[in-house]
Structure 1
Amino acid sequence: MRAMRVHAPGGPDALREEQIPVPAPGPGEVRVRVAYAGVNFIDAYKRSGAYDLARPATVGEEGAGVVDAVGSEVTEVQPGDRVAWAGTTGAFAELALVRAAALVPVPTGVTLRVAAAVMLQGLTAHYLACSVYPLSKGDRCVVHAAAGGVGLLLVQIARRRGATVIGTAGSEDKAELARAAGADHVVLYQQHDFAAAVQDLTDRRGVHVVYDSVGRTTFLHGLTVLAPRGMMVLFGQSSGAVEPVDPQLLNRHGSLFLTRPTLANYIATRDELLWRAGELFEWIGSGELDVRIGAEFALAEVADAHRALEGRRTTGKVLLRVDPECDRM
C-alpha cells in the first residue's frame, strides 16, 4: 500500500511516498481504508523533529474512512462502518491501524470529508471553549489565528456559548472569514498594535481568556490584555516555541493563570471522546457549525500541503484526498 513516510527530521521534502506492507490489525486494533486525512501543524512538528517521533514512520494524526478489518477483542466497530479519528499517527496512507477505542462513528448526514476535517481541530476547539476555560455569557476572549482551522471553529463555539470574541488575522480576507464565523471584532495584527486594540475594544478591562495557537510572537503581548485572574491558554506554536517564562510575570499582570493543554488529556476516556465528537457532529448536522475546508491535496502532494500550511497560505482545514470513493460506499 502507499504511505507517506519520514526517515529523518527535515522540511516538507522529508516526506516521501513508499510502498509498505498492508498491516494486520492486532488485538483491539482496526484497519481503516482512509478516505481523507487531515493536515495539521502537529504533523509538521513531528516531521521537522520539533516533536518526538520514532522513525521511520508514516505521519498524519487525523482521518476518516471505512473499517476494512478488525482484530480480536474489538466490539466497538465492524467492517463497513464509517469512522473518524484523531491523535493516532499513520493517517497519510491508504490503510491505517487505529485503536478501536479511538474511533468515532460518523453519523448519516456527515460526509467522511467533513468528518476528517473536524476531528482534531474540532475536538480541540471544543475542549478549549467547553473545558479548559468554559466560556459563558458575558465572557470576553481573544482567539488568535481566528481564520485558521481551529480558529474558525473556536470562534463559532465561543459565540454559541455567549462570549464576546476578539479575533486576530493577518489579512483583510482572513478577517472577513473570522467575522463571518461570528467574531465580534477582528484585529489585523500586521497593521495594528494588537494589545492596544484589545484594550481599546474592552474599555481597558481586558479579556477573561486568550486562546493562543501562535506562540512566540503573540504570547507576551497576550499576557498584557488579560483581566486580573484571567487565563492564558497556549495550545500551539506556529510562530515558534515560547521562551521560558518567569512565573512572576503572572503575578505582575494580575494573578493570571497559564495552561499548556493537549488534546489527548481531554479525550482520555472513550466517553469523553464520544461526547465531544457527538456534539460536533450534531452541530454540523443541524447547520449550527460550519466546517470550512480551505484546501485539498492528493496524497502524493503532502509536501505541498505542508508548505501551504506552514507558509500561512491557508484558511480553515487542509485535507489530503486518499480514497474519496469511500465516501460513496
Structure 2
Amino acid sequence: MVAAVRVHKVGGPEVLTYEEVDVPAPGPGQIRIAQASCGINFIDTYFRSGLYPSPVGLPFIAGNEGAGTVTAVGPDVTDIKVGDKVAYVVALGSYAAERLLPAARVVKVPDGIDLAQAGGIMLKGMTVCYLLRRTFKVGPEHTILIHAAAGGIGLIACQWAKRLGATVIGTVGSKDKGELAKANGCDHVIYYRDEDFPARVKEITGGALCDVVYDGVGKSTFPASLDCIKPLGMFVSFGNASGSIEAFNINLLQAKGSLFATRPTLNHYAATRADLDGLANELFEVVKSGAVKIPIQTRYALKDAQQAHIDLEARATTGTSILVP
C-alpha cells in the first residue's frame, strides 16, 4: 500500500482525501515508478471540481503530471528499464507515492534536469512549447499578450517568448507579481485590477495591438482580449482559471478584425509518440541551456494537497509548485 490523494466525490479542495492505495505489478505495456514529485496545475482543479469529467469515473487519484524512477516494467516493455528516470503527463493518477503508467506515454529525463523539477514542468513546459512553437509560431516580429504572466505557465511563456525575440506584454494582479514577470522576460506589465488592459495594450503598442493573445484566465478576460488583437491576429484560449468562456456569436471575430480563435490542448499536440518526444526534447533543451529557468517556487507534502489547491485557486502561488510524496 502507498500514499495517494483520491477524489471520491467532486467538489472543493476538501474532497481531496489522503489515504493508502494498492499499486499492483505492471501489466503489458506498463511500468511502475516511485515518484519524486507530482506537479500541481489548474487542470487538476477542473477534474476535482467536476468541470472536466473524470475519464476513469469515481473515485480517482488526482493529478496529471509527475516524475520518478522506474521500479518495475511489464513483460513486453523493452525501451525502458528499472532505474530509468522518467517524466510524464497522463490524465489523472499522479498524486501518489508510486503509480503505474503506460510506457508509451513517458519520456526519459536527461542528465541536467532534476527529477523534482521534471515532475513540475512537463505539463506547463510542453504547453508553452506548443503554444509558442506550434499554435502560433512566435518570432522577433511579433508583439504578444500573456494573461497571468506571473503564473506557472506565464513565467515560462514570458521567458521563452523573449528568447524567440518577441515583444512581451503581460497582465498580473499585484506589484510583486509584476516584478516577477519583468524579471522573467516580460517587457510591459499591466495591472489588470487597476488598469483597463485593452486600453493599456493600445497605448503600449501605439495602436498597433498584438499579433496573438494567450489567455489561460477565461471568463473574466473575454471578450476584452479581442480588443487587444490586430486584424488577422489570433486569440488562443488554453485555460479558464476564472471560469469558462460562454458561447458567443462567431461574427464577433469578424467585427474585431477577421480574427482567428482556437482552444488547444496538449493531448492533441502530443497525441503521437513523435509529437510527444518533440515537445519534451525541445523543453528539455531550453531548460538545460539556461534560456528558460523553471525553479520550483513552492513545495507541499503530498498530504497537504488540499492546501495546495486552496492556494492555487486563490492565486496565492507564482511559478511552479509540486507535491512531494
Q: What is the TM-score normalised by the length of structure 2?
A: 0.97
Over the aligned positions, Cα root-mean-square deviation in angstroms equals 0.9
Aligned partner of 1:139 among 136, 139, 142:
142
Aligned to 2:298: 295
1:42 aligns with 2:23: no
Higher mean displacement: 209-218 or 113-122: 113-122
Note the C-alpha offset of 1:72: 2.4
1:124 aligns with one of 127, 130, 144: 127
Asked whether 1:277 is paired with 2:285, we answer no
Counterparts of 2:91 and 2:32 in 1: how far apart (Å)? 12
Q: Quick one: distance in 1 between partners of 2:290 and 2:214?
A: 25
Aligned counterpart in structure 2 of residue 151 of structure 1, from 154, 157, 163: 154
CA contact (8 A) 1:138 1:162 kept: yes
Give the structure 2 partner of residue 175 of structure 1. Answer: 178
Q: Which amino acid aligns with 2:36?
A: A
Unaligned runs of 5+ in 2: none
State the secondary structure of the residue aligned to 2:310.
Answer: helix
Q: Which residue of 1 aligns with 2:18?
A: 17
**Secondary structure at the residue paired with 1:197?**
helix
The answer on whether the counterparts of 2:23 and 2:100 sit within 8 Å (CA) in structure 1 is no
* SS of equivalent residue, structure 2 residue 161: helix
- 2:234 corresponds to which residue? 231
Task: Give 5+ residue unaligned stretches, structure 1.
Answer: 323-329
Residue deviations 1:137-160 (CA, integer Å, cap 9, x gap): 111110000000100111111111
Shift of 1:270: 1.4
Partner of 2:320: 317
The answer to which of 267-276 and 161-170 deviates more is 267-276
**How do 1:213-292 and structure 2 match up within 5 A?**
213-292=216-295
Match of 1:162 among 161, 165, 187: 165
Query: The residue matched to 2:34 in structure 1 has which SS?
Result: strand
Identity value in percent: 47
CA distance in structure 2 between the aligned counterparts of 1:118 and 1:32, rounded to whole angstroms: 18
Q: Give the structure 2 partner of residue 56 of structure 1.
A: 59
| TM-score between both structures, scaled by the size of structure 1 | 0.96
Conserved? CA contact 2:232–2:260, under 8 Å: yes
Are 2:160 and 2:291, in contact at CA under 8 Å, matched by a contact in 1? no
4+ residue stretches of structure 1 with deviation over 6 A?
A: none
User: What CA distance in whole angstroms lies between the structure 1 residues aligned with 2:23 and 2:252?
Assistant: 52
Deviation at 1:218, TM superposition (A): 0.4
Task: Quote the residue 1:78 is aligned against.
Answer: 81
My pick for the range that moved more, 245-254 or 70-79, is 70-79
Q: Relative to structure 2, which stretch is displaced further, 19-28 or 305-314? A: 19-28
Which one-letter code corresponds to 1:155 in the other structure? Answer: C
How far residue 87 of structure 1 moved from its aligned partner, in angstroms, is: 2.7
For the Cα contact (< 8 Å) 1:36–1:64, is it kept in 2? Answer: yes
Deviation at 1:47, TM superposition (A): 0.5
C-alpha contact 1:309 1:318 (8 A) present in aligned 2: no
SS at match of 1:231: strand
Supply the distance in 1 between the matched residues of 2:15 and 2:285 (Cα, whole angstroms): 38
Query: Which residue is 1:326 aligned to?
Result: none
Does the alignment pair 1:111 with 2:114? Answer: yes
Question: Could you say what secondary structure the match of 1:125 adopts?
Answer: helix
In structure 2, C-alpha distance between the alignment counterparts of 1:280 and 1:141, rounded to whole Å: 20
Q: Distance in 1 between matches of 2:130 and 2:142?
A: 16
Alpha-carbon distance in structure 2 between the residues aligned to 1:308 and 1:76:
39
- Which whole-Å CA distance do the structure 2 matches of 1:163 and 1:139 have between them? 5
Asked if the contact 2:213/2:229 (under 8 Å) is kept, the reply is yes
Displacement of 1:189 after TM fit? Answer: 0.5
Return the offset for 1:43: 0.8
Q: Is the 8 A contact 1:143 1:168 kept in 2?
A: yes
Contact 1:219 1:242 in 2 (8 A): yes
How many residue pairs get aligned? The number is 322
Q: 1:76 touches 1:101 (CA, 8 Å); kept in 2? A: no
Q: In structure 2, what is the Cα distance between the partners aligned to 1:9 and 1:19?
A: 19
User: 1:141 is aligned with what amino acid?
Assistant: I
1: CA distance between counterparts of 2:140 and 2:241? 30
Shift of 1:128: 0.2
TM-aligned CA deviation for residue 75 of structure 1: 2.1
Q: How far did residue 292 of structure 1 move?
A: 2.9
Distance 2:214 2:223 in 1: 13
| Pair 1:100 & 2:137 matched | no
Aligned to 1:28: 29
Report the AA paired with residue 208 of structure 2: R
> Where do 1:189-208 residues align within 5 Å?
189-208=192-211
